[in-house]
Amino acid sequence: MLGPLGNVDNVIRVRDVVVMLNGQKVLDALSLDVVRGEVLGFVGASGTGKTVLMRTILGLLPKQAGTVEVFGVDLDKASEQERRAIERRWGVLFQHGALFSSLTTIQNVQFPMREYLHLSQRLMDEIAVAKLEMVGLSADVCDKYPAELSGGMIKRVALARALALDPEIVFLDEPTSGLDPIGAGEFDELIRTLQQTLGLTVYMVTHDLDSLHTICDRIAVLADGKVIVAGPISAMLASEHPWVKAYFRGKRARVVLSEAEQHVS
Amino acid sequence: MTVSGEPLLKSVVVDDRLELAAAGAWIAEHASDLEGLIDGAVQQGQAVRTVDINMAGVERLDTFGAWLLERLIRSIGGEGRGINVVGLPAHYRGLIEEAHHVNRTQPAPLSENLLGSAVAAINRTANLLARDILLNIGMLGAVVAAVLRTIHRPRAFRLTSMVHHLERVCWRAVPIILLITFLIGAIIAQQGIFHFRKFGAEVYVVDMLGILVLREIGVLIVAIMIAGRSGSSYTAELGSMKMREEVDALHTMGLDPVDVLILPRLAALVLALPMLTFLGSMAALYGGGVVCWLYGGMNPDVFLSRLREVISLDHFEVGMSKAPFMAMVIGIIASVEGLQVKGSAESLGLQTTSSVVKSIFLVIVLDGMFAMFFAAIGK
Rg value, chain A, Cα: 19
Round to whole Å and give the CA distance between B290 and A115. Answer: 59
Residue B125: predicted pLDDT: 92
Flag whether pLDDT at B349 surpasses 70: yes
How close is the nearest chain A Cα to the Cα of B87, in Å? 16
Q: What is the pLDDT of residue A4?
A: 42
Backbone region of residue A123 per phi and psi (left: phi > 0; alpha: psi in -120 to 50; beta: other values): alpha
- Average pLDDT over every residue of A63-80: 84
Cα-Cα-Cα-Cα dihedral sign, residues B89, B93, B94, B98: positive
Residue B59 Cα, gap to closest chain A Cα (Å): 7
Three-point CA angle B373, B223, B325, nearest 5°: 45
Judge contact between A101 and A181, C-beta under 8 A: no
Distance CA B145, CA B138 (A): 10
Q: Is A130's CB within 8 Å of B99's CB?
A: yes
Q: Which amino acid is at A112?
A: P
With the C-alpha atoms ordered B371, B372, B375, B379, is the resulting torsion angle positive or negative?
negative
Contact A117, A165 (CB under 8 A): yes
Q: Are A208 and A176 in contact (CB under 8 A)?
A: yes
Q: What is the pLDDT of residue B108?
A: 61
Helix (H, G, I), strand (E, B) or coil at A117: coil
Q: What is the mean pLDDT of chain B?
A: 88
Rounded mean pLDDT of B268-296?
Answer: 95
Helix (H, G, I), strand (E, B) or coil at A216: coil
The per-residue pLDDT for range A13-34, each reduced to its tens digit, is 888 888 888 878 888 888 888 8
Is the four-CA dihedral B78, B84, B89, B91 of positive or negative sign?
positive
Kindly state the average pLDDT of the residues A106-112.
Answer: 87
Contacts of B62 in chain A (CB under 8 A): 166, 198
The answer to whether the CB of A65 falls within 8 A of the CB of A16 is: yes
The pLDDT > 70 percentage for chain B reads: 96
Interface A-B: count of C-beta contacts within 8 A: 92
For A217, which DSSP code? S
Q: Output Rg (C-alpha) for chain B, integer angstroms.
A: 36
Q: Residues A36, A11: contact at Cβ < 8 Å?
A: yes
- Quick: pLDDT tens for A133-170: 888 888 888 888 888 888 888 888 888 888 888 888 88
Query: Is the CB of A123 less than 8 angstroms away from the CB of B345?
Result: no
Distance CA B346, CA B348 (A): 5
CB contact under 8 A, A127 and B63: yes
pLDDT score of A1 more than 60 = no
Rounded mean pLDDT, A101-127: 84
* Whether residue B23 has pLDDT greater than 50: yes
**Interchain pair A101, B105: CB under 8 A:** no
- For A51-181, strand residue ranges (E) read 65-70, 73-74, 90-93, 169-173
Establish if A111 touches chain B: CB-CB under 8 angstroms: no
List the single best residue of B27, B37, B39, B63 to mutate versus A (max A Cβ within 10 A): B63
CA-CA distance, A171 to A184, in Å (whole number)?
Answer: 17
Asked if A147 and B343 come within 8 Å (Cβ–Cβ), the reply is yes
Looking at residue B100, the DSSP 8-state letter turns out to be: H
Question: What is the side-by-side order of every strand in the sheet holding A218-223?
Answer: A90-93, A169-173, A201-205, A39-44, A218-223, A226-231
Min Cα–Cα distance to chain A from B338, Å: 16
Say if strands A39-44 and A90-93 run parallel, antiparallel, or are unpaired.
Answer: unpaired
Confidence band, pLDDT 50/70/90 cuts, at residue A90: confident
Q: Is B208 helix (H, G, I), strand (E, B) or coil?
A: helix
CB of B44 within 8 Å of any CB in chain A? no
Quote the pLDDT of residue B31: 83
What is the predicted pLDDT for the residue at B176?
Answer: 95
Partner-chain residue, chosen from A4, A101, A127, that has the shortest CB–CB distance to B344: A101
Confidence of residue B316 (pLDDT cuts 50, 70, 90): very high
Residue B16 has pLDDT above 60, yes or no: yes
Mean pLDDT of B64-76: 83
- B330 vs A73, residue with greater confidence: B330
pLDDT for B123 = 92
| A102-106, B154-158, B202-206: range with highest mean pLDDT | B202-206
| B97 vs B242: which has the higher pLDDT | B242
**Chain B residues touching A85 at Cβ < 8 A:** 1
Please give the pLDDT value at position B110: 61
> Of residues A216 and B376, which shows the higher confidence score?
B376
Q: CB distance B63–A89 less than 8 Å? A: no
Integer Cα distance of B178 and A111 in angstroms:
48
Report the range out of A120-134, B36-50, B299-313 with the highest average pLDDT: B299-313
B183 phi-psi bin (left φ>0, alpha ψ -120 to 50, beta other): alpha
Report the residue count for chain A.
Answer: 265
A93 pLDDT band, cuts 50/70/90, is confident
Instruction: Give the distance from CA B245 to its chain's centroid.
Output: 20
Residue A7 has pLDDT above 50, yes or no: no
The answer on pLDDT for B20 being more than 90 is no
Residues of A in contact with B30 (CB under 8 A): none
Q: Give the integer Cα–Cα distance in Å for A124 and A106.
A: 9
Give pLDDT, residue B1. 39
Q: How confident is the model at residue B27 (pLDDT cuts 50, 70, 90)?
A: confident
pLDDT at A261 over 90: no
Q: Is the pLDDT of residue B102 over 50?
A: yes
CA B202 – CA B194 distance, rounded (Å): 8
pLDDT in tens, B105-158: 766 656 667 888 899 899 999 999 999 999 999 999 999 999 999 899 888 888
Cβ-defined contact of A4 to B4 (cutoff 8 Å): yes
pLDDT tens for each residue of B224-258: 999 999 999 999 999 999 888 888 888 887 788 89
The gap from C-alpha B221 to its chain's centroid, in whole angstroms, comes to 23
pLDDT for residue B19: 82
Nearest to A216 by CA among A227, A226, A206, A228: A206
- A198-207, B4-13, B38-47, B187-196: segment of lowest average pLDDT: B4-13
> What is the tens place of the pLDDT at every residue in A185-222?
888 888 888 888 778 888 988 888 877 888 888 888 88
Q: Identify the pLDDT of residue A119.
A: 83
Closest CA in chain A for residue B95: A197
Burial (CB count within 10 angstroms: exposed 0-12, middle 13-18, buried 19+), residue B153? exposed
Residue A112 · residue A90 · CB < 8 Å: no
CA distance B118 to B120: 5
pLDDT at residue A5 in the model? 44
Q: How far, in Å, CA of A202 to CA of B58, rounded?
A: 25
Q: How much is the pLDDT for A3?
A: 39
Residue B45 has pLDDT above 80, yes or no: no
User: From A196, which residue of chain B is nearest by alpha-carbon distance?
Assistant: B94
Q: Is A146 on the interface with B (CB under 8 A)?
A: yes
The SS3 assignment for A227 reads: strand
If one counts every other C-beta atom within 10 angstroms of the C-beta of residue A179, the result is 20
